């Protein structure tokens, strides 16, 4: 039998993988037993997360934080939080819905003492004081076939605002029905009929278009187009202002 070798005599590894195995003494204060542990299990079950380096500190298990730390919490979800160590205490928080492999790199700019936020392309966000350089702006498109002869049986416009509505099938009686009005909604409506006929455009129940009574349809002449803009929660106006 070969002589035992002290752990301190082993060759060191400076770039361990999460699949590597380490030696652990379980329950050293009670009944010590020798165990093995995969580094990934160790990382997931540790309370505080230590980061290599002198500047980063520890995030405690209770959630208390120190200046300039990097911590990851949770197994199937968690957050990566970076706090800038300066007088303004700028904080940037990145929250992930689940662990990922090979996630895209995220570059954090130098905010130069200006409070700011990230803008993500997959989320709905309100941009304030931003300059868009050569942006590509698209709107929704729907091509409904007009139907029915009243508000209750016309074809519903379901595309979210702003949208182009290319309506077909008008015959002087059939129509489409706008969604419920809400301030700022915009719809570009084209009467793309093949029979040179009027298209009926109805508001949603309780709404009104131009000077018409509530629920009344406006008649769009054959081959014409106009813009419907909602003033408030019950009123639509057309541009150009069609006779009504």
The predicted-structure confidence for 185-238, as pLDDT tens digits, reads as follows 999 999 998 888 999 999 999 999 999 999 999 999 999 999 999 999 999 999
* pLDDT, block means (10 residues), the chain with 244 residues: 76 87 89 89 64 46 44 46 50 52 54 57 72 88 97 97 97 97 97 92 97 96 94 95 62
Check residue 65 and give its pLDDT.
46
Q: How many residues does the chain have?
A: 244
Q: Which long-range contacts (CB under 8 A, 24 or more apart) does 207-212 make?
A: 207/178, 207/180, 207/181, 207/234, 207/235, 207/236, 208/234, 208/235, 208/236, 209/178, 209/236, 209/237, 209/238, 209/244, 210/236, 210/237, 210/238, 210/241, 210/242, 210/244, 211/244, 212/244
DSSP string, 218-240: EEEPTT-EEEEEE-SSSEEEEES
Check residue 173 and give its pLDDT.
96
Check residue 121 and give its pLDDT.
60
Domain boundaries along the sequence of the chain: 48-97, 140-239
Tokens of 111: 């905010």
**Residue 215 buriedness (CB in 10 A; 0-12 / 13-18 / 19+):** middle
- Topology annotation, domain 140-239: Jelly Rolls (2.60.120)
Check residue 67 and give its pLDDT.
41
Backbone dihedral angles phi then psi of residue 29, each to the nearest 5 degrees: -90, -5
Q: Using CA atoms, how far apart are residues 187 and 152, in angstroms rounded to an integer? A: 20
Check residue 219 and give its pLDDT.
95
Check residue 5 and give its pLDDT.
79
């Amino acid at each position: 039998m070969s002589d035992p070798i002290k752990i301190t005599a082993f060759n060191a590894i400076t770039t361990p993988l999460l699949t590597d195995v380490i030696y652990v003494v379980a329950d050293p204060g009670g009944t010590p037993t020798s165990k093995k542990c995969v580094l990934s299990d160790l990382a997931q079950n540790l309370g505080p997360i230590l980061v290599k380096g002198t500047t980063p500190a520890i995030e405690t298990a209770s959630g208390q934080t120190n200046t300039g730390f990097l911590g990851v919490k949770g197994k199937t979800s968690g957050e990566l939080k970076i706090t800038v160590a300066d007088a303004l205490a700028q904080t940037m928080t990145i929250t992930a819905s689940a662990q990922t492999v090979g996630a895209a790199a995220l570059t954090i700019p130098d905010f130069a003492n200006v409070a700011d936020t990230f803008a993500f392309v997959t989320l709905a966000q309100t941009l304030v004081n931003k300059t868009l350089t050569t942006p590509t702006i698209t709107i929704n498109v729907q091509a409904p076939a007009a139907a029915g002869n009243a508000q209750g049986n016309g074809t519903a416009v379901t595309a979210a605002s702003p949208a182009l509505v290319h309506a077909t099938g008008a015959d002087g009686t059939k129509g489409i029905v706008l969604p419920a009005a809400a301030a700022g909604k915009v719809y570009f409506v084209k009467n793309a009929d093949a029979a040179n006929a009027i298209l009926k455009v109805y508001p949603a129940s309780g709404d009104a278009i131009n000077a018409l009574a509530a629920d009344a349809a406006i008649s769009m002449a054959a081959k014409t187009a106009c813009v419907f803009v909602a003033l408030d929660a019950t009123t639509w106006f057309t541009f150009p202002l069609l006779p009504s």
